[in-house]
Structure 1
Amino acid sequence: MNVANLQRTGARKTKATPVERRLSGPQKAAILFLCLGESRGSRLMQQLDTEEIQKITRAMSSLGVISAEIVEKVMSDFTEEVANGSGVVGSFTVAENLLRSLLPEDQVETILKDIRGPLKERDLWARFSALNENVIANYLKKEHPQTIAAILSNVKTDVAAKVLPLLGAEKMQDVIERMVRMESVPHHMMKQIEETIQSDIINSSDQPTTAELYQRMADLFNKLDRPALDAVSAGLEENIPDAFASIKQKMFTFEDLAKMDPLDLAKVMRGVAGNTLPTALRGANKETRELFFRALPGRSRDMLMEEINAMAPVRRREVREAQSAMLDLAKTLAEDEVVRLPVNDEDQDELF
């Protein structure tokens, strides 16, 4: 478009786009894509699924002339939404979903393998720290004080604080002095310590405890189709009543997500990709849906409600898969200590 055309375009009145015009979610997204420009906009478009691309494309083709004032308002609203929502959520699950939407499976697996690699050592220390302090202390008592100092320097401080007194006053003082004076442990020595811990303690504790087994079954039941679970529930209650009752207490359902702190729930909602959130809420009961809406700022809530109302009918399987994806993300974020999951009253006094 030449300068004359630009001038004529600027001189025309934009009757179709007054400031008070109400824009839909896809229309606002289309405006943001236009502001990004063809190059950056197309790269971002690659991260969306086919349905989202169709919605935005349809909205973009019917926008007409958009005044600078409306463009500024849309961008301002977007900035405010991010600010009110305390930013965005990053996690391994979110990164994996993004990669799988952009790259072939073999490339995704290669990248994820590289990402997971450095986490192995931290995973070992996390698992070691999760052991009972008496188990850790009994294992360390036979080790040299310098080795004990190196090990306790890698576990969580609250765990080390519980373990040290169990070593005895004299050895505790010796170990603490070594921890204070400790410099960087040579890599080959640290590797040997980690390999010994892996073979002596971690591998021997790989068999799941009863609590771990019940949690696995609870996770399985959460993902099982509701009619299938209902079909076996009566038999389980009759044959293994105590075990089944314990498993049901550990089940974390989609409705339980609504019991989360609103800020934490908002983080989960922002972390899912594509149309996962509207699909999951489309199949939720009215009370649960309202609790989800309350966790969002006003504009985000209106856009989500509008998107849900505009959706075509969804299958029960699609709803179940979407809700399951949100549950998985919530558990991942909880493991990363980004959010906290609601605790059942029955769990408050549970002993381990």
Structure 2
Amino acid sequence: MKLTGKEKAAVFILSLPDDDAKKIMEGMSEDEIREISRTIARLGQMDEETVKAVREEFLSLFENQSFNVRGGMQKVKDLIFKVLGKEKGRHLLKELQQGPKNTPWEILNEMEPTLVATFLANEHPQSIALIISQLNAEQASFIIDYLAPEVQQEVIYRMAKLGNLPPGALEDIEESLLAELEAMGASRGLYTSEGGGGVKKVAELLNLMPRDTSDKLLAFLDEEDNPLAEDVRKEMFLFEDLLLMDDKSFQTLLREVSNDELLTALKGTDDRLKEKFFTNMSERAAEMLREDLEMMGPVKVSDVEQAQQAILKVARQLEADGAIVIMGKGSDDVVL
């Protein structure tokens, strides 16, 4: 059985008592531990002849001993926890289970948004829309914000018109992206996504973008296709939509929001929404918040929007976890 250098190292470490294996791995860098762990995870049952051959190569003193070596994720877990401790070990295990970031979409999700925007600048708006539709919403919103205004409009419009993409629809784009990313030093790996754009994806992106930018893009959609723009609005979740929450859900949200964020977010908001917050707090907490708002000086609009977006992000996560219900949005309304 022909083994690579990494596989030989993995077999040798697995053939040692745990304490000895730990000592060897303690002398490795985190990158080396990551590589050897991936190799161990891929190993199956190793025959005795192969193990002996590996040990003879590494250490002739062990040539007459028999060993039973088996890899797998459990062995990786035991070794990593012993070497790195539970906290770092869990992080590395999660990374191992997810696999290396070598697909074009994973690579673009990890890149700086400004770099991705520059990378996509010369692409056709339809191609940009397809590419961005495959990225996570937060990264996509940052990238769009760095595109030229006229490109933003075209990309958002084309994304809203996209449906779910069938397998194989992105193969040409993937190959092109992989070639360009590879030239930049990125890893190569093919991945076919079945995700896509559409009204919900556009609404999610606009939710995460600065309010003035999202308003301009919605105005453009209104001009191009008013029914489409209305569909996007129905799916959007704005700070004012917190009024749609029942009191129990609202109180759950309040427990997850910091006082500083709440104070900034409420600056200059609608009185009805402020009252919604006040009535779901204790009398003392509500009074203190009122006083703080009255004493608060001018606040940048961008700071208010940032605080509101932070609270909305918490609300969306709580809703996704089933901890709260936000009524009246999209097709998932509840019947009371």
TM range (shorter): 0.3 to 0.5
TM-score, length-scaled by structure 2 = 0.41
Structure with higher RCO (Cα < 8 A, 6+ apart): 1
TM-score, length-scaled by structure 1 = 0.39
